Every structure is written in C-alpha cells, then in structure tokens.
Chains A and B, each alone.
Chain A
Amino acid sequence: MDYIIEVMPFMLSGLKTTLWVFAVTAIFSIPLGVVVCLMRLSKIRIISFLTKIYILIMRGTPLMLQITFIFFGLPIMGIVLNREIAAAIAFILNYAAYFAEIFRGGINSIDEGQFEAAKVLKLSKATTYFGIILPQVIKIVFPSVANELITLVKDTALVYVLGLGDILRAAKTLSNKDASLVPLIIAGGAYLIIIGILTFVLRKIEDKFEYYR
C-alpha cells in the first residue's frame, strides 16, 4: 500500500498525458473526419482522389511511424514542432481517416429515397445534410465510433516514441526500476476504469438514439 502511494504521483502525471492525448484527438479528429468524409465523397475528382491517397496512407502505415515521421521528419522540411503538438497532429490525422471511412459507410447506408424526398420537398442541401441525413448517420455510425474511441484510449500509449510519459510508460519505468508488477497492474486498472466510464457514457448517448428505428 505504501508503495502504491509512493508511485501514485508519477503514475498520475502519466495518466494526465494519456487523458489529454485522448481528449484532444477525440475532439478534433471527429469533426475533421466529417470534413475528410465529405471530401472523399466530393464529385470533384481531384479532391476525392487526393483524399483517397490520404486515407490510404493514414490507414496503411503504422501510427507509430506517422508520429515519428511528423516529429523527426518534418523538421527536415523546416517545420519544427514540439513533442506534444507533433503527437496530437499525428493522432488527429490518423483517427480522422478512420472516422471519415466510418462516416462514409454511414452516409452510403442511407437510402437514396431520403435524399430524393428532401429534394422534392425543396429542402436546401445544407438542411438535407444537417437535418435529414446527418442525424440518421450519427445513429448508424455511433457504435463504430465508440469502438474507435475505446481503441484510442489504448493507442495513446504510442506517444512514448516521442519521449512523452503516458501512464503505460510511467508504469514500465517504475516496474523496471523497482522490479515490481504493481505499477503495471495499476496502469491496467486505470485503463479499465477510463474505458469503463467511457463505455458507460457512450452507451447512454447511444440510448438517446433509440427513440426510432
């Protein structure tokens, strides 16, 4: 018990890193994912094509490589970023690609009749998207988005490649130093608690969409 109290401050500072990487990525990658999705669906060929390439790269290479590249590779082109910003950018760009594809699947699953009904009723494009299509897409994609968010909590551990101390890195450091498994168990417990809370919150939000089928 004394040991747990002793290592707590270090573990908590790691937890803070884990939580901010998660929060920043979740907040920015979802809206960016919507934009990327609309670009991917664009009728302008070049935009759709470039977006496809972007999605291919983001999903086709390891996130760890992307983080490393943005931090160590961009300075070669004269773009120098601090570790936190580099990590955040890599996570946001990566997750936006996944979210974009989830949203695309959602939009494609909406019956063409919904768009046509809206068109005959003379609803504007914006009203059609934001009033008719998007609410239905959100319901459809929500479970997949929730899944991604849960994966994201665990992916945050990858920031260690930039020397950022997340909770898993803190645990490993302590575990090596003190030859103890306790820090790893604490870290595991922390992940479980975060994901438990997240699952509960997401479930509550999902229930809100249950009013129609």
Chain B
Amino acid sequence: MLKIENLNKSFGDNHVLKDVNLDINKGEIVMITGESGVGKTTLIRCLCGLEEYDAGKVLFLEDGEESQNKSIGLVSQSFDLFPHFNVMKNITYALIKVKKYKKEDAVKKAKELVDLLGLSGLEDYYQYQLSGGQKQRVAIARALAMEPQYLCFDEPTSALDYKLRDSVGEIIKTVASRGTGVIVITHDREFARKYANRVYELGA
C-alpha cells in the first residue's frame, strides 16, 4: 500500500497541498480530481520524487511494514519520450542501465509490453513518427518495463480524442489487474466514474 500521510507542500506563499491523506492499494485505480491549481500534479510529483514536500510522509508499505521497494512510475502529460531513441530503446534503456538486464532479456520483456499495448510494428519508430496515443502507450510501456509497484498518470485523457479515451481507460484497467496500484489525475469526471475504484477529490 502507498500511504500518504499529512502531506504538505507550499510554493512560497502558495500553500498548495494541505494535509493530504490518501492510501492506494496495489491493483487499485485511484483517480484524483479537483479544480485547476489545487495541486493534483504537485501531489504526484511528490510521490515520484520530482518535488520535495515540506511535511508529512509518503510510505511504501508491505504487510504494514515499510518496504524497501519504493518503485513508482510516471506517465506525464507530455509523455517525455527520449526523442533520440526508437520505441524499443525507449522501453529497454532503463532496464539495461538501471536493472542491468542483458540486451536480449530487455528486448524480450519489452516485446511483451509492446504486444500488451498494441505497439507491434512500431518498435523502430521515433517519437516524431508516432501519434499522441501511440506516444502515450510507449510511455506506459517504458514505465511498466521497470515493474513499478505504483504507476501515476497525469491527465491521460487530455491529449486524446474521445475515441481513444476508452482505450487508455482499458489500458489502465489492465495495468491495475496486473497488480500495480494506479493513481490517475483527471479532469474528466465521467472517465473517473467509469474506470476508478475510488475517486479522491483534492482540495475539497
């Protein structure tokens, strides 16, 4: 379980996150909604270690004990694929560099994710050759390759047209069904109702 306890974060005088408390279980989809500026993105940036928080705790718990495995992934709004790598290398790079996989093993693992996310045939493409939805799925594959316990999505539907919204919803369900805890920021209440196990209204 990912346990957020009394999390506080200010930017100067702007007290963005005030005593945020939230638990996310593995395999669960928690959607975070709220007005613009209530700190939804700041919250997941704190979870992912991209932002220091001022007070409170972010605990990775395993059977009530603090876990050594603090792995968490992020699919950002702009996807931030590495433009100089093709799809395959985007997915395998961290596996090879961080998890010290052999290249063949990394490619094998990436292939599974490519199939899971419907990216077959795009392995050699660069990001400029991909559509928004494809880029997003590469970003998801890249994050999943590292087998994070939790995966954050920042506004996954904002860059997509109506038709693709449901396909990313289904992908999120698939990710959760594999045992990953999923935290999704969204403005889209309908999307939240349809796919979330729980909706957390930030700033309410």
A residues apposed to B, CB below 8 Å? 111, 113-114, 116-117, 119-124, 127, 131-132, 135-136, 139, 211-213
- Report if A120-B74 is in contact (Cβ < 8 Å); known contacts: A139-B84, A212-B84: yes
B98 in the interface (beta carbon within 8 A): yes
Which of B48, B50, B126 lies in contact with A212, CB distance below 8 A? B126
Would B94 and A122 count as touching, CB distance under 8 A? yes
Min CB–CB distance B9 → chain A (angstroms)? 17
Rounded to whole angstroms, the CA-CA distance of A6 and B135 in the bound complex is 66
Which residues of B are found within 8 Å of A131, using beta-carbon distances? 93, 97
- Could you say which residues of chain A place their CB within 8 Å of the CB of B50? 116, 119-120
Binds A, one of B59-67, B75-83, B101-109: B75-83
CA distance A120 to B74 in the complex (A): 7
Contact with B97, one of A111, A113, A123, A139 (Cβ below 8 angstroms) = A123
Q: How far is the CA of A136 from the CA of B85 in the complex (A)?
A: 10
Instruction: Let me know if B94 and A123 touch, CB within 8 A.
Output: yes
Closest chain A residue to B127 by CB distance? A212
Asked whether any CB of chain A lies closer than 8 Å to the CB of B12, the reply is no
Query: Closest chain B residue to A122 by CB distance?
Result: B98
Partner of B126, one of A117, A127, A211: A211
| Distance in Å: Cβ of B181 to nearest Cβ of chain A | 16
Please give me the 4 A-B residue pairs with the lowest Cβ-Cβ distance, nearest first.
Answer: A113-B80, A117-B80, A121-B94, A213-B128
CB distance B97 to A127 under 8 Å? yes
Complex Cα distance, B76 from A121, in Å, reads 12
Q: For B76, B84, B128, which residue has the most chain A Cβ atoms within 10 angstroms?
A: B84
**Cross-interface CB contact of A120 among B49, B83, B93, B127, cutoff 8 Å:** B49
Q: Name the residue on B nearest A135 (C-beta).
A: B84
A44 to B183, CA, bound (A): 36
Whether, in the assembled complex, B40 has its beta carbon less than 8 Å from a beta carbon of chain A, the answer is: no
Complex CA gap A66/B72 in Å reads 53
Q: Which residue of B lies closest to A113 (CB)?
A: B80
A124 contacts across to B, CB distance below 8 A: 97-98
Q: Which chain A residues lie closer than 8 Å to B83 at the CB level?
A: 136, 212-213
B75: shortest Cβ distance to chain A, in Å? Answer: 10
CB <8 Å contact, B126 and A120: no
List chain B residues, Cβ under 8 A from A114: 80, 82
Report A-chain residues with C-beta under 8 Å of the C-beta of B74: 116-117, 120
Known: A122-B146, A211-B126. A117 touches B97 (CB 8 A): no
- In whole Å, how far is A39's beta carbon from the nearest beta carbon of chain B? 25
Taken residue by residue from 121 to 142, chain B's Cβ proximity to chain A (1 for < 8 Å, 0 otherwise) reads as 0000011100000000000001
Contacts of A132 in B (CB 8 A): 82
A131 to B94 alpha-carbon distance, docked (Å): 10
A136:B146 contact, CB within 8 angstroms: no
Min Cβ gap B67→A in Å is 16
Residue of B nearest to A126 (CB): B97
Is B27 an interface position by the 8 A CB rule? no
- Give A121's nearest chain B residue, CB to CB: B94
Once the chains bind, are A121 and B80 in contact (CB under 8 Å)?
no
Decide: B49 and A136 in contact? CB cutoff 8 A: no
A119 to B49, CA, bound (A): 8
Q: Tell me if B76 and A117 are in contact (CB < 8 A).
A: yes
Selected contact of B84 from candidates A120, A123, A136, CB within 8 Å = A136
Q: A113-B78, A122-B98 are in contact. List 19 more A-B contacts (CB 8 A).
A: A111-B80, A114-B80, A114-B82, A116-B50, A116-B74, A116-B76, A116-B80, A117-B74, A117-B80, A119-B50, A120-B48, A120-B73, A121-B142, A124-B98, A131-B93, A136-B84, A212-B84, A212-B127, A213-B83
The residues in B between 130 and 160 inclusive whose CB is less than 8 angstroms from any CB of A are: 142-143, 146
User: Contacts of B81 on A, CB cut-off 8 Å?
Assistant: 117
